[in-house]
Chains A and B, each alone.
Chain A
């Protein structure tokens, strides 16, 4: 991966749906190439924060910035991985992974080659022609990961991607994620409610709690739990 990571920033952002504010006055800085984990209890607005970074939700106050430029909508630079069911169910594994390449008008042969490589890297070689419904939850998340990274994004936004998996599969997926991310320069914002997951994956952890966003440098498990 050659593309450099994206710098992301929330500047006094107020976020919500249809007039109701979920978060207000959020300041957050994500430096290029880091893995930032946002920990928060359910209902704390973690997904809302991520959707704003993806450009799926416009802030009603403040600004969302990517490399200093205001975010006005979704972009292939900022790929999102959803908790579940983000795959197009009518497309095979291969065709799901080829999707971002097709959107970028990559030639067919090259598309196929790149998709195959990514499918192999997430350990799904041999499953190219399966439909999502024929895969387990963990395998579907592997496909989502391959699909997001195949588009060579400069930032990957992950919305509790392993939240619906059993403990063992989750541990496998966390290892796979760290393994795959080692080769990319992409910035990662990873949202979870699981403190152990945050400690395992994050270069840096911020807590989305009752008093807004708090950065905890070198915090222990106990300190984070106390903040939630």
Chain B
């Protein structure tokens, strides 16, 4: 910074410290406590209802209590098969979701930018979109040589559409000004794509990724319950058919935690990638 004074002929006041995205620490702390209390209250209510074998039209007498679930979870955490299931489900969802993210963004950009692509692809995509991914199980079984690929395909199909639709909308909603700015600086169509379309569409894309991750979990678990011989969904359903209710709930808790973690990761990545957006200080998750 030593050359500052002689270089600039017009001088401005030195820059004030950069604004940080975080809210006041006290507020954040309070928010965390409330969130934790909310979870604990729900767990406490569950415990109360199951321990007292409440039958208040809804019947809680056959549901496992927290200590039974906790004991079962502790037991499973010591087994190898729990981690194998976990890894299997994660591999499936990350493969399916990863492919869907790439294909969904690519298709969305293509449709958003090219009239021809829009005319060719829109009717096909709009006809397939309303079909729930889980209803594609028969097709998946016929189409793919192994169950594994079928499950990944279902997961892919579930995540593809929300990602593609969000990307398409985000691309179409981009102001033309940025594109024109890059063009008048000598940019080609590729420059516009890399420097304007992709970064500009990112906030919308992340909305789609977030929804896509949610439906991916729904579909991978459902598909595992229908076919497959490994995975959290398979194990959960198996426990139910063996009348092992604590293990069933452990499976559900596992799914919930995994889903939450993966969504949180996407949310975090999204917030990092779209720091340039104007947003209220300390807002959001």
Q: Which A residues are closer than 8 A to B by beta carbons?
A: 54-56, 73-76, 78-80, 82, 85-91, 99-100, 103-104, 117, 120-127, 129-134, 139, 147-148, 151, 157, 172, 175-176, 179
Contacts and interface: CB of A to CB of B under 8 A. Distances in A.
Chain B interface SS verdict (over half): loop
Contacts of A129: 18
A80 B180 contact: yes
Contacts of B122: none
Nearest to B191: A103
B15 interface: yes
A76 B18 CA distance: 33
B187 A56 contact: no
B10 A125 contact: no
Given A54-B184, A56-B180, A88 B278 contact: no
Contacts of B191: 103
A125 B1 contact: yes
Interface string B1-41: 10110011111101100110000000000000000000000
B186 A151 contact: yes
Interface residue tally on B, bucketed by range = 35 or more
A123 B184 contact: no
Interface of B: 1, 3-4, 7-12, 14-15, 18-19, 175, 177-178, 180-187, 191, 195-196, 199-200, 202, 274-278
Contact of A120 (B8, B178, B180, B182): B8
Nearest to B7: A120
Contact of A147 (B18, B185, B199): B185
Contact of B276 (A90, A103, A125): A90
A137 to B, nearest CB: 13
A88 B196 contact: yes
A226 B277 CA distance: 45
B281 to A, nearest CB: 13
B195 A99 contact: yes
Contacts of B10: 122-123, 172, 175-176, 179
